[in-house]
């Protein structure tokens, strides 16, 4: 296969103490959700998908995202940023990692259950546009561990939760990143875009 110039990008919201959820587990997003509807967050959301042609998701995120965003796509009362993102997500190619699904219940979706790094390498070898690993922290961690992420979209929420999971675990390979964009909101939220310096 011929290698293309596709970038692997990843989107994640974090608390000030670096957690993508609170001490209550995967559904404990109380410190993050209030910042998801700010102008800065919506501008940031617009950036994450503009150059992406493939979305990579874990099964739980796929179920939540595709269930929720399918209702937003044609909702005339929804924010235009939200509608645009929803339409992109529904229309784009999706790869969903799952150990329990054999068939995809969503349009334009295929199921993967092997190595995340191998599957993303295969995606990089063909096609065009960015490959967005969309808020699926487990997949992002796997790709950080093998230094395969080219761009990080981070939304920093000004809350300390004191417990929960972190994406940047001990043992990751060292890496250097450059700020490509930053924006701060009135509530203290910060949208950051980092590019991997290679």
Q: What are phi and psi of 49, to 5 degrees?
A: -110, -10
Whether 158 and 188 have beta carbons less than 8 Å apart is answered as yes
Distance, C-alpha 13 to centroid of its chain: 8
Topology of domain 8-196 in CATH is Dihydrofolate Reductase, subunit A (3.40.430)
Domain boundaries, the chain: 8-196
**Cβ partners under 8 Å of residue 3, min gap 6:** 124, 125
pLDDT tens sequence across 133-158: 999 999 999 999 999 999 999 999 99
Q: Is the whole-model pTM more than 0.75?
A: yes
Q: What is the pLDDT of residue 65?
A: 87
DSSP 152-172: EEEEEES---S-S--SS-TTP
Q: What residues are paired with 196 via a beta bridge? A: 177
Q: What is the pLDDT of residue 1?
A: 41
Give the sheet arrangement for strand 151-157, strand by strand: 109-112, 93-97, 52-58, 130-134, 8-15, 151-157, 190-196, 177-184
Q: What is the pLDDT of residue 4?
A: 65
pLDDT tens sequence across 145-191: 999 999 999 999 999 999 999 999 899 999 999 999 999 999 999 99
């Amino acid at each position: 296969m011929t290698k293309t110039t596709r970038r692997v990008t990843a989107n994640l919201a974090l608390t000030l103490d670096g957690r993508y959820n609170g001490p209550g587990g995967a559904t404990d997003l109380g410190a993050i959700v209030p910042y998801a509807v700010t102008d800065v967050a919506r501008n940031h959301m617009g950036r994450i998908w503009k150059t992406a042609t493939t979305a990579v998701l874990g099964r739980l995120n796929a179920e939540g995202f595709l269930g929720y965003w399918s209702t937003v796509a044609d909702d005339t009362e929804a924010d235009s940023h939200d509608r645009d993102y929803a339409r992109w997500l529904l229309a784009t190619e999706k790869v969903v990692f799952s150990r329990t699904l054999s068939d995809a219940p969503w349009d334009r979706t295929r199921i993967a259950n092997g190595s995340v790094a191998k599957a993303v390498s295969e995606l990089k070898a063909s096609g065009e546009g960015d490959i967005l690993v969309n808020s699926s922290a487990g997949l992002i961690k796997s790709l950080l561990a093998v230094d395969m992420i080219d761009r990080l979209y981070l939304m920093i929420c000004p809350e300390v939760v004191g417990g929960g999971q972190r994406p940047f675990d001990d043992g990751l390979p060292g890496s250097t990143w450059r700020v490509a964009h930053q924006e701060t909101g009135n509530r203290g939220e910060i949208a950051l875009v980092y590019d991997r310096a290679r």
